[in-house]
Chain A
Amino acid sequence: MAAMVSIRVNGVEMSVAADVSVAAALLNAGHTMFRRSVTGAARGPVCGMGTCFECRVTIDGEPGRRSCLEPVREGMRVTIDA
């Protein structure tokens, strides 16, 4: 069993593998929509490598972080659009 860390997604605590990206952790928790577009449409990750900016979320209060480039960390607070 791989090491686990605890993160909070919209206030909900979850245990995720310690060596995954925030994007992978969110997808594995069943979140396919990460954010709303400027017209309110649902969007999720596309390029997986930091080019398209579709997977951006708020991490520890900082908006606009590309979740595909961010490894998860113990205690991380992630906010996605509802």
Chain B
Amino acid sequence: MAVIGGGPAGIAAAAVAAGLGRSVVLLDASPRPGGQIWRHRDRGTLPVGARDWLGRLEASDATVLSGANVVDVAPGFRLGADVQGRAVTVAAGAVVLATGAQELFLPFPGWTLPGVVGVGGAQALLKAGMDVRGKRVAIAGTGPLLLPVAAALARAGADLRMVAEQAPPREVRRFAASLWRTPARLVQAALYRSAFATVRYRWGTWVKRVSERDGALLVTWTTGRSTWAEPADLLCTAAGLVPCTELARLLGCELSGEAVVVDHEQQTSVPGLYAAGEPTGNTGMEAALIEGAIAGFAAAGQGAGARALWPSRARHRDFSRRASEAFRLRPELRARAEPDTIVCRCEDVTLASIAPGWSVREAKLATRAGMGSCQGRVCGPALRHLLGTSADTVRVPVVPTPLGVLAGLTAQRDDSRGAS
């Protein structure tokens, strides 16, 4: 069994299945397991639950391949990976996709300036050692992720100036009121807020544009009614998360909107292929752990273990649904880009050069949008939101891969054909 992705969902799937005696290999792109939420340099800084799961994974017989980018998956399943510059082929009877989510970046004037980073992006850079002491930092985004990121930046010594939630105040209030059903989350939110208690936390506020002034950023904020500008050294901004589904789409899984469709056992429309966590649209670390464990049980043929976790999964799905309704994107966020605003950062394609009725394929052929290094990972979701452009087909390799690795993978495939 192969598990792709080393965040909570992948760790749970691998640890559970290995604990049931399955031979498991976990492939993860990061230097060590943890994913985005449990990204760490010193494990001692992680919460107890995270350390427990990482310990369970280590104590299991699962093989962990870090620095592993899966570049190809063929039905059956045969995975081709670039593991720190080496070609590695894995044959697996079952695959769990625990590929997580990425941030949704919607273009606005100035979004390509250095110093404008993602919200989760800032969190990731902070965990990787970025020093924010004394830096003027502003956050503009949406959803439950804003609070832990604001708290982490404040604790790291940032001069945090503003935390802006795009959702209207009535929606945020209604969501907050619904948290009585999950008291632990309410306590958690209050603890995060206490870490930046003196900083403005505005609802119904978003960034209109950013420019450069005096070697720093000048952020133009708006509530729709009033608009004002403030300086910052670092602006952390995103429009929420989108599931990473390249491998799922490559294998032809059925999708609903942006999310991979799964059954009660987390199995996708492709037999033997499971998905857990963010790719299924069930957001958050707790949901990822439960879905990962269910996938681990199911892929190991232990349906009873999986069934015991269904009620818990249902509660997290309910939370997920309420969050996505409350933090729905306001239409103004999609209307910020101007004709000369870059929409494809890799190829510097402007909004004006893409005709609204085009398919992604037409946009690619005419402008090279989506043909750069990120292969449409940033502009693809952005164009879907701005112009309603449909997602393109996925082609291998799904991440840019050195030719030596591709040649190695091809040789390994040919060897296996020759041997069979």
What residues of chain A have their CB less than 8 Å away from a CB belonging to chain B? 17, 19-21, 23-25, 27-28, 32-34, 37-39, 41-54, 56, 64, 68-69, 71
Contacts and interface: CB of A to CB of B under 8 A. Distances in A.
Give chain B's interface residue range (CB within 8 Å of chain A). Answer: 35 or more
B151 to A, nearest CB: 17
18 contacts: A19-B129, A24-B131, A28-B129, A32-B114, A34-B114, A41-B342, A45-B117, A48-B123, A49-B120, A50-B29, A51-B244, A52-B374, A53-B346, A53-B373, A56-B373, A68-B128, A69-B29, A69-B67
Contact of A41 (B29, B42, B348): B348
Given A42-B114, A51-B378, A64-B400, A37 B345 contact: yes
B345 A52 contact: yes
B356 interface: no
A25 B125 CA distance: 10
B348 A38 contact: yes
B377 interface: yes
A43 B345 contact: yes
A46 to B, nearest CB: 5
A48 B117 contact: yes
A71 B30 CA distance: 10
Given A46-B118, A51-B374, 6 more contacts: A20-B129, A28-B131, A32-B115, A37-B345, A46-B117, A52-B345
A49 B36 contact: yes
- Residue of B120, B124, B377 ringed by the most chain A CB atoms within 10 A: B124
Contacts of B128: 20-21, 23-24, 48, 68
Interface string B241-276: 000100000000000000000000000000000000
A15 B378 CA distance: 33
B377 A51 contact: yes
Nearest to A28: B131
A27 B124 contact: no
Contacts, number: 112
Contacts of B42: 19
Contacts of A51: 102-103, 244, 374, 377-378
Contacts of B31: 69, 71
Nearest to A53: B373
Contact of B125 (A17, A42, A43, A45): A45
A24 B130 contact: yes
Contacts of A24: 125, 128-131
B131 to A, nearest CB: 5
A46 B377 CA distance: 13
Contacts of B116: 46
A53 B374 contact: yes
Interface string B151-194: 00000000000000000000000000000000000000000000
B354 interface: no
Contacts of B377: 51-52
B114 A44 contact: yes
Given A20-B128, A41-B112, A49 B348 contact: no
A57 to B, nearest CB: 12
Contact of A49 (B113, B121, B131, B373): B121
Interface in B21-37: 29-31, 36
Contacts of A23: 125, 128, 130
Interface string B396-410: 000010000000000
B186 to A, nearest CB: 28
B52 interface: no
Nearest to B378: A52
Contact of A45 (B112, B121, B346): B121
B124 A68 contact: yes
